[in-house]
Amino acid sequence: MIEGPGTGWLTLLQKELLRFWKVSFQTIAAPVLTALLYLLIFSHVLESRVAVFDGRVAYTSFLIPGLVMMSVLQNAFANASSSLIQSKITGNLIFVLLPPLSPLDMYAAYVLGAMVRGLVVGTGVFLVTLLLVPGPLSIAHPLFALAFAVLGSAILGTLGVIAGISADKFDELAAFQNFLIMPLTFLSGVFYSIHSLPPFWQALSHFNPFFYMIDGFRYGFFGLSDVAPVLSLALVAAAAVILAALALLMLARGWKLRH
Amino acid sequence: MSVNAVEAIGVERRFGNVQALAGVDLEVEKGEFFGLLGPNGAGKTTLISILAGLVRADRGSVRILGHDVGADYRAARRALGVVPQELVFDPFFSVRETLRIQSGYFGLRHNDAWIDELLHHLDLTGKADANMRSLSGGMKRRVLVGQALVHKPPVIVLDEPTAGVDVELRQSLWAFIRKLNRDGHTIILTTHYLEEAEALCGRIAMMKSGRIVALDSTQNLLSRFAGVTVRVSAARLPADWTARLLRREGTIHYLGLGDYAELERLLAAFRTEGIAIDELALAETDLEQVFLRIMAGTETTDDTRPVVTVPEAL
């Protein structure tokens, strides 16, 4: 029996990873297939009709980083939120609440678990879509791409923690997902460059935080973006810090977890 | 001075309009086998939840082995093992995985020797690799006991641990808990089975409406209320004796009497009022009778010297 500080949160992280790994067909294979279907359909219909970045990038190539990032974000959110709501509703969250885990321990474990799920699915989508890309796909600034993927998954993992704690029913979580996460992702420029939008919608897109994640991630591939990548990075990092502080505050207060 | 296993001072907690705990003071010494009894809604589970850090007290303080459950929660939780009342489990894992994960949460890795011992004592060795979903209710309950014990806590709280566990397994479970108590673990038990509490607990607190209304050794509680319980089947009771009623099931009345001399006066009253007795039996006082008498008593503010309405002869 070895007692070590820090093994508590590592165990919770390990549990979070095991949880989705045991049902990987549903948690990894399914979202990869969904992204692949999006790619097949949209690229088939739009490849010859839509010009992005003034025709400097083929539409299918443009779409791939968008789909990768969308998969990262959605799966990071799904992992943390579904784990928490399931544990709350079945009551087994008590196993996490009884041990000497600090709010930071819990936050780190749930968010890192979510990030791993998001990044694994994103990598899967990337590898599968590579088979379909017309010609070699450049990665102009891999570190930028990585930074946005990591920060984006952390933000959505954190949102998943916040939603999982706030929701009392699956219904409420589904509302969070369908009325907030999904529209923000779909309207963030996954499928199009916002420069192709009318001015009003273009301006509105700048208030969508997801837009900066997708745009910055795409910059990592093509070296081209709708807004300056450093600005996107700063905004995304700030959002990550603010949301993390909120989630940590909720955990420290025990809001909806400890009465 | 030796530190207490549990020390609660002036603990209050309100949920909306319900005063779940209305000022509870309690000390449980190290090594005790302590019983916490009371009807549903008396505040037992709220008190236990506060010990475990699942619920926060509005007022008062709680310490586990001297560690405040709020300020020093890590040490307090490490010292405590809780078997929750609800039959909960994580359907993703096997029995062994469940115990390993729970062990890891407490910072303990490579704890398999103790996990194997737990599995053996809880009669779960054959089910170690079975998924939690496939287990019967009684088995799930035993896994919960295992999870509570996986970090060898010096203080163990069992909230209704034998609900749904069959008689044979209940015996082996108690044998194991007794052994843990002999090895120095402090045990705090809530149960609806009063005969279990009577057989196991050295000291008992009885709760009612968020207060402790009786707190004494099991022996003292039994002897304080020594007397005779009469089970009498009749259409009604003589008018002067209705205040002595402990419990009624249809035409069967349970009465608490101080001694046998009172029995003669009771029978005389039946004769005087011309009420026919269909059946009559006597029983020695057991914890259930004590419990019923205390619960029938009036509210009390003093938890060590309860003001209980009992017959003068007692």
Residue pLDDT, tens place only, A23-39: 888 899 999 999 989 88
B142 and B259 in a single domain? The answer is no
B13 and B66 in a single domain? The answer is yes
Tell me the Ramachandran region of residue A257: left when phi exceeds 0, alpha when psi lies from -120 to 50, beta otherwise.
alpha
Interfacial residues of B (vs A; Cβ cutoff 8 Å): 15, 49, 52-56, 73-75, 77-78, 80, 82, 84, 86, 88-93, 97, 101-111, 113-114, 147, 151
Q: Which of A10, A15, A97 sits opposite B54 (nearest CB)?
A: A97
B105 and B151 in a single domain? The answer is yes
B170 and B278 in a single domain? The answer is no
Residue B164 vs residues B41, B53, B224: alpha-carbon distances, Å: 20, 26, 32
pLDDT the model gives residue A6: 67
Contact by Cβ (8 Å): A212, A229: no
B109 and B237 in a single domain? The answer is no
**Total structural domains within chain B:** 2
Q: Which of A2, A91, A99 sits opposite B86 (nearest CB)?
A: A91
Report residue B205 as tokens.
């607190």
Q: A229: which residues sit within 8 A by CB, 6+ positions away?
A: A141, A144, A215, A216, A219, A220
Q: What is the CA radius of gyration of chain B?
A: 22
Minimal CA separation from A252 to chain B, in Å: 11
B92 and B140 in a single domain? The answer is yes
In a domain, B306, yes or no: no
Query: Using CA atoms, how far apart are residues A82 and A84, in angstroms rounded to an integer?
Result: 5
Residues A18, B92: C-beta atoms closer than 8 Å = yes
Q: Which amino acid is at A244?
A: A
Instruction: Return phi, psi of residue B119, to 5°.
Output: -60, -40
Residue pLDDT, tens place only, A82-136: 999 999 999 999 999 999 999 999 999 999 999 999 999 999 999 988 887 766 6
Report residue B16 as tokens.
């909306």
Instruction: Return phi, psi of residue B182, to 5°.
Output: -60, -35
Question: How long, in residues, is chain A?
Answer: 259
B129 and B263 in a single domain? The answer is no
In a domain, B24, yes or no: yes
Q: Which of A8, A94, A254 sits opposite B107 (nearest CB)?
A: A8
B107 and B174 in a single domain? The answer is yes
pLDDT the model gives residue B115: 95
Which pTM was predicted? 0.84
Q: Which amino acid is at A70?
A: M
In a domain, B175, yes or no: yes
Residues A258, B54: C-beta atoms closer than 8 Å = yes
B236 and B196 in a single domain? The answer is no
Residue A67 vs residues A34, A176, B55, B154: alpha-carbon distances, Å: 10, 21, 43, 53
pLDDT the model gives residue A92: 92
Instruction: List the domain range (segments joined by +) for residue B248.
Output: 227-284
Report residue B306 as tokens.
């309860």
pLDDT the model gives residue B244: 79
Contact by Cβ (8 Å): B222, B287: yes
Is the C-alpha dihedral spanning B162, B166, B167, B171 positive or negative? negative
Report which of A94, A243, A67, A81 is spatially closest to residue A177, judged by C-alpha positions.
A81
Domain regions of chain A by residue span: 24-253
Q: Which residues of B touch A99 (CB under 8 A)?
A: 77, 102, 105-106, 151
Across the strands, what pairs with A57?
A52
Q: How is B251-297 classified by DSSP, letter by letter?
A: TEEEEEESSHHHHHHHHHHHHHHTPPEEEEEEEE--HHHHHHHHHHS
A:B CB pairs within 8 Å: 95
Minimal CA separation from A92 to chain B, in Å: 5
Q: How many CB atoms lie within 10 A of CB B276?
A: 8
Query: Using CA atoms, how far apart are residues B186 and B3, in angstroms rounded to an integer?
Result: 13
Interfacial residues of A (vs B; Cβ cutoff 8 Å): 1-8, 10-12, 14-15, 18-19, 22-23, 87, 90-92, 94-102, 254, 258-259
Report residue B95 as tokens.
């029995």
B107 and B54 in a single domain? The answer is yes
Minimal CA separation from A185 to chain B, in Å: 30
In a domain, B310, yes or no: no
Query: Using CA atoms, how far apart are residues B4 and B7, in angstroms rounded to an integer?
Result: 6
In a domain, B244, yes or no: yes
Q: What is the ipTM of this complex?
A: 0.87
Minimal CA separation from B286 to chain A, in Å: 35
Residues in chain A with pLDDT < 50? 1-2
Contact by Cβ (8 Å): A137, A61: yes
Residues A254, B91: C-beta atoms closer than 8 Å = no
Residues B110, A1: C-beta atoms closer than 8 Å = yes
B134 and B258 in a single domain? The answer is no
- Mean pLDDT in each 10-residue stretch from start to end of chain B (314 residues)? 85 89 91 90 90 92 93 93 91 94 92 93 91 89 93 93 75 88 93 81 89 84 73 87 82 81 86 88 74 64 37 34
Minimal CA separation from B9 to chain A, in Å: 19
In eight-state DSSP terms, residue A185 is H
B212 and B237 in a single domain? The answer is no
In a domain, B297, yes or no: no
Helix (H) or strand (E) holding B207: strand B203-208
Q: Which residues of A touch B53 (CB under 8 A)?
A: 97-98, 258
Minimal CA separation from B101 to chain A, in Å: 6
pLDDT the model gives residue A5: 57
The widest CA-to-CA distance across chain B, in whole angstroms, is 76
Q: Which of A2, A87, A97 sits opposite B109 (nearest CB)?
A: A2
Query: Using CA atoms, how far apart are residues A82 and A87, in angstroms rounded to an integer?
Result: 8
Burial class (CB in 10 A: 0-12, 13-18, 19+), B249: exposed
Contact by Cβ (8 Å): A185, A208: no
Query: Using CA atoms, how far apart are residues A1 and B151, in angstroms rounded to an integer?
Result: 10
Q: What angle do CA A153, A145, A34 make, to 5 degrees?
A: 60
Contact by Cβ (8 Å): A95, A142: no
CATH number at residue B59: 3.40.50.300
Tell me the Ramachandran region of residue A189: left when phi exceeds 0, alpha when psi lies from -120 to 50, beta otherwise.
left
Q: Which residues of B touch A5 (CB under 8 A)?
A: 107
Residue A95 vs residues A75, B3, B83, B84, B215: alpha-carbon distances, Å: 24, 27, 10, 10, 31
